Chains A and B, each alone.
Chain A
C-alpha cells in the first residue's frame, strides 16, 4: 500500500477508529420482524414443498394402486370364483384348437347356455351395455355334470361363441350349490370396452394447478424518478404468502402417438399477502410541470428524513379467465406409464382485483386501484411429469409446472412494472372421446 498522503489518511483513520454511533432504537425490532418474516417464508416454502411432494406421492400411489388392482382382483377371481377374464381382441380362440377338443359336447353345452340365457343379438347387447355395466342371467337348465365336466372348456367356448358374438369383455360363472347339488349357474357378462382403435383422436382434460408465486418488481426506465428509492426492495421484503390456483378444462387433439395439441378455458386466482414493517424516508414530489403516472404519482426529487413507522399487512387477490393453447408431448415408458410435458401460451383476462397494498409515496396502506391493471396479460406455462393410463380411455397424471408472465401487471404509463412467475404442481385427468 503506497500512501502518498499519510497525514490526512492517518487523521481520518484516527477519527473513525472508535466511530460507533448507536443505530436507531427501533433498528433491532425491525430486523427482528424481517428475520421472522424470512423464517415464516422459509417455513411456508418447506410446508408447500412437503404438500407438493405428498400430493405427487398420493397421485402416483393412487395411479399405481388402481392401475394394478384390476390385475390382482382378476387373478384372485380366477382362483376363487371360476372367473374367466379375457380380452376379446387379444385372445381369440383358434378354431383348430377348439376342434381338437371334444367339440360336440362342449358346443352343445355352450349352445344350451347360450339359448338358456336368451341373449340379444350382438348389436343390441352392445347398445344396452352402454347403459348397463353387466348382464346377469340365471341358468337353471344346466346339469351339474355338464358344468363340472366342461368347466375348463366353457370359458374358451364362451369366449369364442358368446363373448365375441355379444361384444362382451368378461364372463363370470358362479355355480350355486345346495349341498352337493348344483341349483343354478349365475352368469355375468361384462361389456367390452372399446379398443383404442375405436376411440377418436379427441380427448377431454380437466386439471388443477397449485403454485407458489413470486413477483419480479421493476421500474419503467423513463419513469424511475416516480418511484421511492426503496420501493422495489421493500415490496420484495414484504412478501409473505403468494399463491396461485388454476382450474382448467381443455380439449386435446392427438396428432401422433406422442404429440397432441390442446386448447382450453381456465379460471385462475392469484393471492398476495404482504407484511410491511419498516421506517423509511418520506419522499418529496414535484407535481408542477410533470405528468402523473398511472398510479397518480409525480416524480420524486428528494427525501425529507424518516417518515412514520410502517406496520401494515396487505392482501390482494387478482382473478383471471385464461385461455391456454399449446402442445403436449408424451413419451411412453412401460406398464402404461409415460413421461408427459406441455408447453402452453395463455391469454389471461383480468376479471377482478381487490385488496390493498402499500402506497409508497404516502407510506400508508390503500385499496388497490383496479384501473391501473392491464386487461389482458400474456403468460406461458411449461410442465413436465408422469401419467398413467388407467384404462383404454383414461389417464391420470401429475406435473411440476412453471408459469411466467410476458406482460407486466400494470398499464404502460405506470412507473412500476411488476411481472409474476410461479412454480407448482399440476394434477390432471384425461378422458379419450369416442
Chain B
C-alpha cells in the first residue's frame, strides 16, 4: 500500500495510478465536503471532479505533506465558494426532489442525535445559501469569522450575525424533523 508521500510524489509526476489511489483514499471524505457545500448531488459530483483536477494541477506547489488532507479540504471549500459567488445571479438551481421534501417538513419537534448525517445535511441544504455556507465553515470546518469574512467578502460582524441566524433556523428545522419522525 502506498504511503501519502508516495502518492503525492506520483501525482506530481502525473502518474495516473497514483492519482487513482489518491481518489480512492480521499474521494469519499472529499465528497462529504462537496455534499455539504452543494445544493444537489449532481452539483457535488461536479465539484468533486473539479476539485480533484485542481488538486492534481497544483499538487506540485504543496510544501508539506502532513497537512495534506486539510490542504485538499481547503481547495474544495474555495472552489465551492467560487461557484457560490458565480451562481449568486444565476437562476434558482435547487433539486426538485429537495424542494418537495422541504415542503413536507412541517411542525415537528427535534433532537440531532436521532437524525443521521444525511438527514441533517438535507435540513442544512434548506437553509438560505449563505447561512448554510457560514454554518459549514464555522461549525464543521472550524474557520474563524475573520477567515469567513475574507472568503465571503463581508464583515466579521455580518458573519457572526449570519451564523447566529443559521443556528437558530437549523435548530428549528431539526426540532421539526424529529417531531415528525416521532409522530410517524
- Point out residues on A near B: beta carbons under 8 Å: 1, 4-5, 8-9, 11-13, 15-16, 19-24, 27-28, 30-32, 34-35, 38-39, 224-225, 229-230, 233, 279-281, 284, 299-306
The answer to whether B32 and A302 have CB atoms under 8 Å apart is no
Inside 8 A of B14's CB, which chain A residues have their CB? Answer: 39
Name the residue in B45, B87, B94, B96 with the highest tally of chain A Cβ atoms < 10 Å from its Cβ: B45
Query: Which listed residue, A24, A30, A301, touches B91 by the CB 8 Å rule?
Result: A301
Whether A28 touches B94, Cβ cut-off 8 Å, given contacts A22-B31, A34-B49, A281-B40, is no
Number of A-B residue pairs, CB cutoff 8 Å, is: 121
Chain A nearest CB: distance from B124 CB in Å? Answer: 8
Tell yes or no: B140 within 8 A of A by CB. Answer: yes
The answer to whether B112 and A8 have CB atoms under 8 Å apart is yes
CA gap between A15 and B42 in the complex, in Å: 22
Inside 8 A of B96's CB, which chain A residues have their CB? Answer: 284, 302-305
Nearest A residue (CB) for B119: A15
Mark out the residues of chain B between 13 and 52 whose CB falls within 8 Å of any chain A CB in the assembled complex: 14, 16, 19-20, 23-24, 27-29, 31-32, 35-36, 40-42, 45-46, 48-49, 52
Nearest A residue (CB) for B52: A31
CA gap between A306 and B118 in the complex, in Å: 19
Inside 8 A of A35's CB, which chain B residues have their CB? Answer: 16, 19, 53, 56
Query: Which listed residue, A9, A32, A233, A302, touches B139 by the CB 8 Å rule?
Result: A9
CA gap between A418 and B45 in the complex, in Å: 26
- Point out residues on B near A: beta carbons under 8 Å: 14, 16, 19-20, 23-24, 27-29, 31-32, 35-36, 40-42, 45-46, 48-49, 52-53, 56, 87, 89-97, 99, 112-113, 115, 117-118, 120-121, 135, 138-140, 142, 144-145, 164, 167, 170-171
Name the residue in B46, B118, B167 with the highest tally of chain A Cβ atoms < 10 Å from its Cβ: B46
The answer to whether A16 and B140 have CB atoms under 8 Å apart is yes
Nearest B residue (CB) for A1: B144
Inside 8 A of A225's CB, which chain B residues have their CB? Answer: 91
Inside 8 A of B29's CB, which chain A residues have their CB? Answer: 20
CA gap between A13 and B92 in the complex, in Å: 29
The answer to whether A1 and B48 have CB atoms under 8 Å apart is no
The answer to whether B167 and A1 have CB atoms under 8 Å apart is no
Whether A23 touches B53, Cβ cut-off 8 Å, given contacts A16-B32, A303-B93, is no
CA gap between A31 and B21 in the complex, in Å: 13
Query: Which listed residue, B45, B112, B117, B144, touches A19 by the CB 8 Å rule?
Result: B117
The answer to whether B52 and A8 have CB atoms under 8 Å apart is no
The answer to whether B28 and A21 have CB atoms under 8 Å apart is yes
Chain B nearest CB: distance from A42 CB in Å? Answer: 10
The answer to whether A8 and B170 have CB atoms under 8 Å apart is yes
